[in-house]
Structure 1
């Protein structure tokens, strides 16, 4: 039942927003009582925190696998990180939309904790850019923090428009992004 509450809540939060979805809305969809909800979650905000934490932990686990892969050069790691973010839109798109749109509803303590997790993603990307600069794969005049934020911004915004069942696959979009990132758009 906990998983059903979780999944139903994500769908309702995506459709109507966190503020416009009540616990009563959630339990009505499931045909259960509020007591059932409160058996698994202390509050709607705790449920939202769980959604955010699950999303970030999944990304961090995937990121750590990529960063630890010694068979990949830094260019390949950037590609894999971009692909990871786009692939998660297909597998976790609803969670991503809830994550980005509803983060503002977390209490201060939870928000700071989630921002810390989000910063780990940024730091991982920044470290790959720095390593690529140091190893001569990327230009030395780049600002690694700004490049990392630019890459993450492009990828994270993709949840608004990317359709995994559309004309381009997540791998194709990742290749386009990487080509644009590594080679720019100049002729």
Structure 2
């Protein structure tokens, strides 16, 4: 039931927004009581934090699988991370929207749990850029922290406009982004 509450809440938060969705809306849409809701979550914000933690932990895990693949060079790893982020919109689009759009509704003590995980994702990209510089795959004068933020800026905003069933597939969009990124950083 916890997963059903979470999934339905994601749909409602995406559609109505976090602040406009009440606990009553959530339980009514599932046909359960508030007691059922409070058995799993102490508040609506705890549910939002749970959604955030799950989303970012899953992204970091997927990213680390890419990074630990010894068969790919840095360029290929960067391309796979970009594809993973764009492809994630197809499978986790509503969660992505909530992650970026609703973070402002979390209290500082909840943000303290999420921000380090989110930062780790960015730091992993910085490390990949630095490794690519060291191996001669990327230009040596690059500022890895700024490049990492640029990659995230390009990909993270895609949840606003990318339509998985639109004219371009996730792979086609990520290939366009990777071409743009690598032609700016490739040797």
The normalised TM-score by structure 2 is: 0.96
Question: Runs of at least 4 residues of structure 1 off by over 3 A?
Answer: none
Determine helix, strand or coil for the equivalent of 1:78.
Answer: helix
In the alignment, structure 1 segments of 5+ residues that lack a partner are none
Structure 1 distance, partners of 2:52, 2:30, is 22
- Could you say what the CA RMSD is over the residues aligned between the two structures, in angstroms? 0.8
In structure 2, the partner of 1:109 is 109
Q: Is this contact kept in 2: 1:74–1:131, CA < 8 A? A: yes
C-alpha contact (below 8 Å) 1:63/1:81 kept by paired residues:
yes
Residue equivalent to 2:160: 160
**The residue matched to 2:167 in structure 1 has which SS?**
coil
Deviation, structure 1 residue 63? 0.7
The secondary structure found in structure 1 opposite 2:21 is: coil
* Number of positions where the alignment pairs a residue of Structure 1 with one of Structure 2: 184
Whether 1:8 and 2:17 are equivalent positions in the alignment is: no
Cross-structure match for 1:124: 124
Contact 1:104-1:111 at 8 Å conserved across structures: no
Q: Which TM-score applies when normalising by structure 1?
A: 0.96
Residue of structure 2 in register with 1:97 after alignment = 97
Alignment deviations for residues 123-168 of structure 1 (CA, whole Å, 9 cap, x no partner): 0111110000111000011100000100011100000000111111
Q: How far apart in 1 are the matches of 2:130 and 2:82? A: 16
Alignment match, 2:50: 50
**C-alpha separation in 1, matches of 2:112 and 2:41:** 21
Question: Unpaired segments of 5 or more residues in structure 2?
Answer: none
1:138 aligned residue: 138
